[in-house]
Structure 1
Amino acid sequence: MFQDGFPNHLRDDVAAVVGMIPHKNNENVTSGVSQDTIQYFQDNTMIRFPYRIYYIDSLDEVIDNLSLRQKMILHCIYSRSCDGFVRQKHMFSLLQMDYEDWAIPYIVKICDEYVVEILEMTYDTLKEQDTERIKRFCLENIVPSSKSYNRMISYWNEYYRYRNNDFKKYIGRKLFRDCFGYSKSMECRRKEVRETYHLK
């Protein structure tokens, strides 16, 4: 499953990382990986990774033994953790690196979720960077990117509207528009794609 979330040329590195992940689940969970998956296209190739993983976090000494690229892979994998603090920890580490294009789907996906502190952290980092690579990825994935934008809005409406009543000032909106390049035209193109391919 994890191999499908990275380019083929990383197969050995992914295998090495997966082999070092403690395959011990969090309490009350029988499987280490959710059946639900996230799918994107990148460089005309479908990539797919678990919506959630339930493995306990890797120890720092395990991470220290990995190469720089393998650390990047590990941070991507753990950005799907069921524990919000673990997701935030690994996404922070990933964003401090000179991350490669194949890490972008993990960065985009974590930003449509409900932990506003992760959105704030991600925006604070990306606003200082050139995010053209991320914007190109989102354009390549108009339908899932638009769904992510709408999902982010739904979490704002459910959890954060009481303290951020003006959506135009909400950090999630700023992140998607300033760093991911979301615009009204993307929503229009999403509708065109859905109608063309009869997508839901």
Structure 2
Amino acid sequence: MKMQRANQAFPAFLKQEAEALDQVIGQLCQARVEMHRFIEIRVGEEDLIIPYRIYDLGYETAFGYLNETQSLLYSCLLTRHHDGHVRQRQLERILSVHAPLIVPFVLQLTGEYVIQILETVEAHLPKFDPALYGRFIRDNQAYFQTTQARMISYWDCYYRHSYKYQSDYVGFRLFAKFREFQESC
């Protein structure tokens, strides 16, 4: 299936940019999106759908055809890429952006198993806007709880032997900070 659904992952005010992105990546990339698995979230007053995984070939060539906004949107989508290295590179591109549309893409990565990605998020926490993240978490309580439970499950499966105490594992520190954001704003 070609990835023709970028506009479902972003707020309506970005519809034209998302549609242009759909055209470019539809022409340049052979992309498949796992649409039987997707993530439903709320950003502001809008319900959005983020792909769970993207299986994409030739993704780097698309950036040369995209404007700044489209590149940002594409980086967000590529945080859902099947390759953890791609997810981390794209995360690093979006972490400095302070916009509600970025938050679900960053937060989703904190519930995954790649510890280097969790460490990257933790290193950038001081630059996060607590109000932005706090609002998203309050508006998406079930999603937040599921993401936290996934992080705990991955810790239990892959990292518990190395990080016996929860306070030593980056995922627990991240979610403690996210809960602070949720409660403080």
What TM-score does the superposition give when structure 2 sets the normalisation length?
0.87
Per-residue deviation, residues 89-135 of structure 1 (Å, max 9, x unmatched): 11111113x24211211111111011111000011012333332112
Q: Give 5+ residue unaligned stretches, structure 1.
A: 26-31, 186-200
Query: What corresponds to 1:109 in structure 2?
Result: 108
Please name the residue that 2:48 is paired with.
Answer: 47
Q: Structure 2 residue aligned with 1:24, among 21, 30, 50?
A: 30
Q: Does 1:90 align with 2:90?
A: yes
CA offsets 1:115-158 (integer angstroms, 9 cap, x no match): 11100001101233333211210111111101111110000000
Match of 2:131 in 1: 132
Which letter maps to 2:86? Answer: V
What is the alpha-carbon root mean square deviation over aligned residues? Answer: 2.0
Structure 2: distance between partners of 1:150 and 1:46? 22
- Per-residue CA deviation, residues 48-89 of structure 1 (Å, 9 max, x unaligned), is 1210110125225x4244222211101111011011111111
User: Separation in 2 of the partners of 1:64 and 1:76?
Assistant: 16
CA 137–161 in structure 1, closer or farther in 2 if over 3 Å, else same? same
Distance 1:106 1:55, change over 3 A: same
Contact kept? 1:57, 1:86, Cα under 8 Å: no
SS in 2 for 1:101: coil
Identity %: 27
Which stretches of structure 1, 4 residues or more, deviate above 3 A after TM superposition?
Answer: none
- The alignment covers a number of residue pairs equal to 176
> TM-score, with normalisation over the residues of structure 1?
0.81
Q: Which runs of 5+ in 2 are unaligned?
A: none
Cα distance change of structure 1 residues 37 and 129 upon mapping to structure 2, 3 Å threshold? closer
Q: Distance in 1 between matches of 2:171 and 2:58?
A: 27
- One-letter identity of the residue aligned with 2:179: G
After TM superposition, give the deviation of residue 182 of structure 1 in Å. 5.9
Whether the 8 Å CA contact 2:17–2:70 is kept in 1: the answer is: yes
Higher share of residues assigned strand: 2
2:11 matched to which residue of 1?
Answer: 7
Kept after mapping to 1: 8 A contact 2:29/2:59: no
User: Which secondary structure does the structure 1 equivalent of 2:129 belong to?
Assistant: coil
What is the CA–CA distance in structure 2 between the aligned matches of 1:162 and 1:118, rounded to whole Å?
A: 19
Against the structure 1 CA distance between its residues 69 and 89, is the aligned structure 2 distance closer, same or farther, given a 3 Å change threshold? same
